[in-house]
Amino acid sequence: MRVELISVGTELLLGDIVNTNTAYLSKELAALGISVYRQTTIGDNSERLLQTLDAAFSENDTVIITGGLGPTDDDITKECVGQYFGRDFYFHEYSWVKILERLTRSGRNIITDNNKKQAMIPEGAIVLENFCGTAPGIIIEEDNRRIILMPGPPREMKDMFEKSVRPYLQKLSTNKFVSKYVRFYGIGESLLETKIKHILDNQTNPTLALYAKTGEVLLRITASASTFEEAEELIVQQLKEIEELVGEYIYLIGDEDISSSQTELHSVVANLLIENNLTLSIAESLTGGLLTSMLVEKSGISNSLLEGIVCYSNDSKINALGVKEQTLERFGAVSEQTTREMAEGVARRLNSDFAVVTTGIAGPNRDGSNKPVGLVYIGLYSKGKVDVVECLFTGDRELIRTRTCTRALDELRKIILKSL
């Protein structure tokens, strides 16, 4: 099966709306072992949509369209598809009942005639119920070709794909597909690709795909087999080979739920703390509470996270953490010596098992010293010992702060694992 994704909507071409649908669908289809040949975005224009359908079916057997299923005159997708396949339309009573129910629940007291447009269905089509909106989805099959229409709003589209389209596509193949995701920290995409290049070059089943994240790399491994168990075993064998080559950079292996975020380090660290009944204190200068906020995303962290202090000023470092004035005067706030005293001070306040602190220069300007923008110190306290990591990050202010947090989390992860 070869697929073309078509997104319909002038607002997409104008940049008024960011097209997240194609990224989601490409990823979901890849997990099913389905190749996406091309992605196309067009405006609300019937002639161009018909031309696009001609081009799409000349090279693919399956077309998936999102958008253009609304009740207004500029929603032309369904009508163009009906024209393309030479189908008449009929009024689908069940869809109309569901549309009325949803409009009534939303407080609409006046139902206009154009709402009935969404209940008009091409003859012979499979109707997909929309559980989140009013526009039903449609599948038309003809001469070993198929076209799938889904609404444009991402929430509606995703729900319809998961409940109706994915099961439909899975039935078209006798194989079972399984995907696993591997998250790496401490190695860039290009270097990771180089280290596993012979695997990437010779891949057949499983298939592999690399995705760059902010300071991290995500690897998707997808295997197909006659049973889920066989596909799982293929992935296990592939993982063994990858772990032998770059296992030191792997911090998490899981299913799709770990794939969408920029990082999962905060979840990994939070789980380590919670599961092992360990406590943590945090003091942030450079990151200004960002690190604490990331850990707080994890439910249950309150049992482990004793406190998070934002000590942006020197006075705060002195009064809250006990950093010596002489240290600040001699070495400055951005220094190994100050970082060390910050870590000792915040750990001592509530006698936590671990502590992590950050200080540095996020920019865009220097702090009056000759130290460069991007210079960062991360302090880690464990069992009475303090380790300080010096980093030099590039990027804008936000990126430097974000990279500091992920590096701090990774260092904390490693030091916790070492203590267990």
Do the Cβ atoms of 226 and 174 come closer than 8 Å?
A: yes
CA-to-CA dists, residue 418 to 78, 177, 387, angstroms:
59, 36, 13
Q: What is the DSSP letter of 152?
A: S
Percent of the chain at pLDDT > 90 equals: 80
- For residues 258 and 273, give the distance between their C-alpha atoms in angstroms, rounded to a whole number: 19
- Confidence label for 146 from pLDDT (cuts 50, 70 and 90): very high
- Confidence label for 113 from pLDDT (cuts 50, 70 and 90): confident
Residues in the chain, total: 420
- For residues 177 and 32, give the distance between their C-alpha atoms in angstroms, rounded to a whole number: 6
Alpha helices by DSSP H, listed for 109-183, are 154-160, 166-171
- For residues 210 and 140, give the distance between their C-alpha atoms in angstroms, rounded to a whole number: 34
Radius of gyration (C-alpha) of the chain in whole angstroms: 27
Q: What is the pLDDT of residue 260?
A: 83
Q: What is the pLDDT of residue 164?
A: 95
- Confidence label for 27 from pLDDT (cuts 50, 70 and 90): confident
Burial class (CB in 10 A: 0-12, 13-18, 19+), 53: buried
Residues in CB range of 122: below 8 A, 6 or more apart: 78, 81, 82, 85, 87, 88, 89, 138, 140
For 125-142, the pLDDT digits (tens) are 999 999 999 999 999 999
Do the Cβ atoms of 61 and 145 come closer than 8 Å?
A: yes
Percent of the chain at pLDDT > 70 equals: 99
For 401-415, the pLDDT digits (tens) are 999 999 999 999 999
pLDDT at 111 over 80: no
Beginning with the edge strand found earlier in the chain, give each strand of the sheet holding 35-42 in spatial order. 35-42, 2-8, 62-66, 145-150, 137-142, 126-128
Mean pLDDT, rounded, for 67-80: 93
Side chain identity at 189, as an amino acid letter?
E
| Most confident by average pLDDT, 22-36, 102-116, 257-271, 365-379 | 257-271
Contacts 24+ apart (CB under 8 A), 12-21: 12/41, 12/43, 12/67, 13/41, 13/42, 13/43, 20/154, 21/66, 21/67, 21/152, 21/154, 21/157
For 180-216, the pLDDT digits (tens) are 999 999 999 999 999 999 999 998 899 898 988 989 9
For 212-235, the pLDDT digits (tens) are 898 999 999 989 898 999 999 999
Q: What is the pLDDT of residue 176?
A: 83
For 344-402, the pLDDT digits (tens) are 999 999 999 999 999 999 988 877 788 999 999 999 999 899 999 999 999 999 999 99
Residues in CB range of 58: below 8 A, 6 or more apart: none
Q: What is the pLDDT of residue 31?
A: 77
CA 128 to chain centre: 27
Do the Cβ atoms of 380 and 386 come closer than 8 Å?
A: yes
pLDDT at 54 over 90: yes
pLDDT at 339 over 80: yes
pLDDT at 173 over 90: no
Nearest to 332 by CA among 367, 356, 364: 367
Residues in CB range of 318: below 8 A, 6 or more apart: 324, 325, 328
- For residues 352 and 280, give the distance between their C-alpha atoms in angstroms, rounded to a whole number: 5
pLDDT at 112 over 80: no
Between these two residues, 280 and 112, which has the higher pLDDT value?
280
Residue with tokens 């010293």: 369
Do the Cβ atoms of 289 and 264 come closer than 8 Å?
A: no
Mean pLDDT, rounded, for 274-293: 97
Question: Beta partners for 380?
Answer: 356, 387
Q: What is the pLDDT of residue 34?
A: 85
For 115-126, the pLDDT digits (tens) are 899 999 999 999
Mean pLDDT, rounded, for 227-249: 96
pLDDT at 298 over 70: yes
pLDDT at 109 over 80: no
